[in-house]
Amino acid sequence: MARRAAIAAVLASAVSLVAAAATSATGTEPCAEVRNLYLRGNSIPAATGYACLTSVPFDSETGIATVENFKKFSEFHSTLGDIKNPGVGYANEPVDILGMLDNVIAMIKQGKIKNQYQFEEQMALVVGTSFDGHYTFLGNTFYSSLDWYRGGATETGEFEGSLVSVSLDGAALPQVFFATDLNKKDASPIVSIDGVNVVEYLTKESTHQLFHDADARWNVLFARQQSDSPGSFIGPWFYPGPKFTATMANGKTKTIQNYAVVPEALKEKWSQVVDGKSFYKTFVAPGSTSSDSTTDIPERSLRKRYVEKRLVPPNYPKPVIQHADKEVELGAFFLADYTLKEVAVLSINTFDPVASGDSVEFQALIQKFIAYAKSQGRTKMIIDVSSNGGGSLFLGYDTFKQFFPTLEPDIGARMRYSTALDIIGTAFGTITLEDATSGSFDNNGLTPADMYLSPIHYTTSVDANGKDFSSWADMRGPVTINGASYSQIMRYNFSDPYLYQGDTIESVTGYGPLADTPAQPYAAEDIILLSDGYCASTCAAFSDLMRRQGGVRSVVLGGRPAFGPMQGVGGTKGVLVEPWEAIEASIASTLADFGTAAQKKKWAGYLPEAFPIAMSSAPTVNFRSGYHPGSDTPMQFLNESANCRLFYTPAMLTNVTHIWESVARLAWGFGGGTGQT
């Protein structure tokens, strides 16, 4: 909660200082004004921050080069072809990403893009149409140099612009309230924002979230205890305007000022900024001493953009067991209500290990808790994956195997075939195990072991039948599906000891040294998978295995104010994200260690180069799409509703125990059930 407290302290004086700040801005370079206000400890009006960012000059040649390079990089994005014709199960519009990027180039040539912020915003909007958290382009001007906030902090540390979406009795449709008003006797729901119907306004706002499901996008806007966040409505990615006015059902209105906040880690950089040109030199131009296309700005994960999460958020019950590292959000609980003495809860907010040894502890903790829960007569298990953005794929598979040790995970994967991928795969495919272990290959780029263990190398996967690929040509295909080209179906060989390299577990449970496993601890009907739609990447794979193979029922929370089904997995269902640094290293090694001069000259037309601008974090692509057995449709485009949906009630928003108790009564009828089905 350290960052949350720091943000509250910065914003606490916002209301009293904004008028003076706005007045002093007259006649001053807006970027200098931002710097001066920040260094004096004063609040920065959002309009002043926006004036600064839109004063940053734009170089059209650099912009075109950036887009062209990103197009080459996007050739590695596995759903680039699928999303042009995603099928009936996908609720969003089909899009032509490369065509939209060409349109950005056309806008540049026509002089329609006037500043760097506008350029980076256009790039973010194009990438955002994929609704895939594994596909990103995050420029420093648009994304990381300033944070936006709707409203300041109250004396009690609450965020005045934070909203909640809540059903007052759990049966009626949810309404939107200010979080600070919810517990007041005269609380009145918001009916409009800036004159627009509140549902219409917030639905449009939610389209900036990188979730494929509209209900998940809706949930992310609001304060929820499980995410330990005031909601993304108060901290949007884009400029939210100078203020907003909400009208309540009782006719009262509330106007809240918006602010820009300089991230504390950027204090030294902002001290160098006096105008738009110096901003460009500081934040946009690549470092003069490095060829890297990213700056030394600390990378910020999407899930931790606004506040720091804790292992056990406020009002969580005392855990029976929890991970030692507070950043690894894994804890286990026993429900205390006398009618629910049979129920245990495993709260998994992440599969992402942080420090060395975290993966091993994660694996051991789940094993320990399952055994302990069974020994204490806890015959029912709720697995809560709310706000789980993913992490180590092996930990997701391992957790599934701990609950269903006799089942073989059957998710397949494909890469998108491209000439660039083929160039690298052909080169890396010549590296043998002997090269990797003996170091006999004379290399100038990646080590032979790095190339041999790359996800591009054909030996790191087996085919759909569990058989080894004989060569890169055997694995690459290409196979034509839906008008695009892909590799053959690939799966992991969990018995391969070379699969577990780096800081990870020794093996997935049920394989290799962990082949001997206890019997299945719980029947499928005794497990409930709980989510809020914010489940992505590894969480999506884990949820798919638990539901589809394990036969576990699922419950999802919240969603838009409408009756009907909701998906439990609203985030990306891709099974491997690859950052630019990894692909850049593979390209550099290919050019350094393989091919003739003539071949390298030809390859240059297909392989992306270092980006000509600095970015908040390196661009990423979804490198492998997940597939069900026998299906040619990526999991990303399948609509898979949860078995049951519950609306948030006021009690659920402030005490997660009420959620778990409601789910237990609904699922197993304890204490007479909930009256819902």
Domain spans of the chain, in order of start:
2-54+151-263, 321-410+508-573+636-672, 412-504+574-635
- The residue with tokens 């089909």 is 94
**Which of 21-25, 213-217, 447-451 tops mean pLDDT?**
213-217
Q: Is the pLDDT of residue 675 over 50?
A: no
Please check whether residue 236 is in contact with residue 217, taking contact to mean a CB–CB distance below 8 angstroms. no
Q: Is the pLDDT of residue 619 over 90?
A: yes
Q: Is 278 exposed, middle or buried (0-12, 13-18, 19+ CB in 10 A)?
A: middle
Please check whether residue 189 is in contact with residue 175, taking contact to mean a CB–CB distance below 8 angstroms. yes
Q: Tens of pLDDT along 512-544?
A: 999 998 999 999 999 999 999 999 999 999 999
CA 652 to chain CA centroid, nearest Å: 24
Other Cβ atoms closer than 10 A to 305: 15
d(Cα 119, Cα 143) in Å, to the nearest integer? 12
pTM of the model: 0.91
Q: Is the pLDDT of residue 256 over 60?
A: yes
Which tokens belong to 618?
Answer: 């390196």
- pLDDT for 100: 98
- pLDDT for 24: 39
CA 443 to chain CA centroid, nearest Å: 35
d(Cα 403, Cα 370) in Å, to the nearest integer? 9
Amino acid at 102: D
- pLDDT for 287: 74
- The residue with tokens 């800081």 is 503
Q: Tens of pLDDT along 550-565?
A: 999 999 999 999 999 9
Quick one: average pLDDT of 652-657? 90
φ, ψ for residue 526, nearest 5 deg: -100, 10
Q: Give the list of residues 6+ apart from residue 36 with CB closer than 8 angstroms, or none.
A: 28
**Comparison of pLDDT for 32 and 185, the residue scoring more:** 32
Q: Is the pLDDT of residue 2 over 60?
A: no
d(Cα 11, Cα 193) in Å, to the nearest integer? 22
Q: Give the list of residues 6+ apart from residue 393 with CB closer than 8 angstroms, or none.
A: 351, 537, 538, 541, 575, 576
C-alpha distances in Å from residue 383, one per residue of 51, 175, 270: 47, 28, 44
- Closest by CA to 276, choosing from 615, 111, 30, 38, is 30
Name the band, by pLDDT with cuts 50, 70 and 90, for residue 300. Answer: very low
Quick one: average pLDDT of 40-49? 96
Pairing of strands 380-384, 343-348: parallel
Which of 20-34, 131-145, 442-456, 539-553 is the least confident region? 20-34
- pLDDT for 601: 94
Q: Is the pLDDT of residue 310 over 60?
A: no
Q: Within 13 Å and on the Cβ side, how many CA atoms surround 7?
A: 27
Q: Is the pLDDT of residue 628 over 80?
A: yes
d(Cα 399, Cα 377) in Å, to the nearest integer? 21
Which tokens belong to 350?
Answer: 């992440």
Q: What mean pLDDT, rounded, does the chain reach?
A: 89
- pLDDT for 314: 54
Q: Give the list of residues 6+ apart from residue 362 with CB closer than 8 angstroms, or none.
A: 323, 328, 330, 351, 353, 395
Q: Tens of pLDDT along 463-498?
A: 999 999 999 999 999 999 999 999 999 999 999 988
Q: Is the pLDDT of residue 9 over 60?
A: no
Q: Give the list of residues 6+ apart from residue 27 with CB closer than 8 angstroms, or none.
A: none
Share of the chain above pLDDT 90, in %: 78
- pLDDT for 311: 47
In three-state secondary structure terms, 350 is coil
Q: Tens of pLDDT along 55-112?
A: 999 999 999 999 999 999 999 999 999 999 998 889 999 999 999 999 999 999 999 9
- Angle, helix 116-128 to helix 60-74, in steps of 10 degrees: 20
The sign of the dihedral angle between the CA atoms of 398, 399, 402, 405 is: negative
d(Cα 635, Cα 626) in Å, to the nearest integer? 6
φ, ψ for residue 575, nearest 5 deg: -110, 5
- pLDDT for 318: 81
Name the band, by pLDDT with cuts 50, 70 and 90, for residue 289. Answer: very low
Q: Tens of pLDDT along 327-381?
A: 666 788 999 999 999 999 999 988 988 776 788 888 999 999 999 999 999 999 9
- pLDDT for 503: 62
Q: Tens of pLDDT along 113-145?
A: 999 999 999 999 999 999 999 999 999 999 999
**CATH match of 321-410+508-573+636-672 with 3.90.226.10:** yes
Other Cβ atoms closer than 10 A to 95: 16
d(Cα 424, Cα 419) in Å, to the nearest integer? 9
d(Cα 494, Cα 404) in Å, to the nearest integer? 15
Which tokens belong to 436?
Answer: 């990797």
Quick one: average pLDDT of 607-618? 94
Specify the DSSP element, H or E, that contains 260: strand 253-261
Specify the DSSP element, H or E, that contains 528: strand 527-531
Q: Is 136 exposed, middle or buried (0-12, 13-18, 19+ CB in 10 A)?
A: buried
Share of the chain above pLDDT 70, in %: 89
Q: Give the list of residues 6+ apart from residue 337 with CB closer than 8 angstroms, or none.
A: 661, 671
